[in-house]
Amino acid sequence: MEAFFTSAAIVAFAEIGDKTMLLAILLATRFRQPVPIILGILAATLANHGLAALAGQQIAGLLEADWFRWAVALGFVAMALWTLIPDKIDDEEANVSHKGSVFLTTTVAFFLVEMGDKTQVATVALGAHYKSVIAVAAGTTLGMMLTNVPAVYLGEELVKRVPLNIVRIFAASLFLALGLWQIWELWA
């Protein structure tokens, strides 16, 4: 349960202000069909984070050496720093075309935008740390949904009212705490 709840909390806070959250707002304001957008976000996140958690677990399973655990710990510290950098949607990513269903458009757009994103990288690190694909993927997916569902329904109002700098600092603190905790375990 620790892997599930930790993964959910870390990704929920890291996702606030992230480019995929901004994409959710963009899709919501463009298509005005919240249910297919939410289902598309869910499908994309399950696939993307499932693969990311599996990759993390497989890497951890192959590399049990102390240097790898140090790399994961330092990765969490790097994620803390990365989280402090505000995201914005690039002009290219904001130009979402609608050639099929809203669900399919959302699923493909979210899956692609999430590639290499900090929440995906965090999912790989969490998969390596906890070695539990299902708990980590379920937790990170819940975290994504906790942030993106309100973004879909509240759209731009959410961005105006939530102090994103404070949330980023809190999310960075969570990543830093995980990194320092793992470093402490390695030294102890």
CA torsion, points 171, 176, 182, 187, in degrees to nearest 10? -170
Which of 26-35, 104-113, 143-152 has the weakest average pLDDT?
26-35
What CA–CA distance (Å, rounded) separates 134 from 118?
19
Q: Could you tell me the CA-to-CA distances from 158 to 76, 115, 180 in Å, in that order? A: 28, 24, 32
Q: What is the mean pLDDT of residues 152-170?
A: 71
pLDDT reported for residue 5: 96
Are 79 and 175 in contact by the 8 Å Cβ rule? The answer is yes
Condensed to tens digits (0 to 9), the pLDDT of residues 88-112 reads 554 444 455 555 689 999 999 889 8
Pick from 12-21, 34-43, 112-121, 164-173 the range whose average pLDDT is largest.
34-43
Evaluated on CA atoms 166, 170, 173, 175, the torsion sign reads: negative
pLDDT reported for residue 123: 93
Are 137 and 162 in contact by the 8 Å Cβ rule? The answer is no
Condensed to tens digits (0 to 9), the pLDDT of residues 33-88 reads 899 999 999 999 999 999 999 999 888 766 566 776 787 778 778 777 876 776 55
pLDDT reported for residue 186: 80
What CA–CA distance (Å, rounded) separates 174 from 103?
32
pLDDT reported for residue 52: 94
Whether the predicted pLDDT of 184 surpasses 80: yes
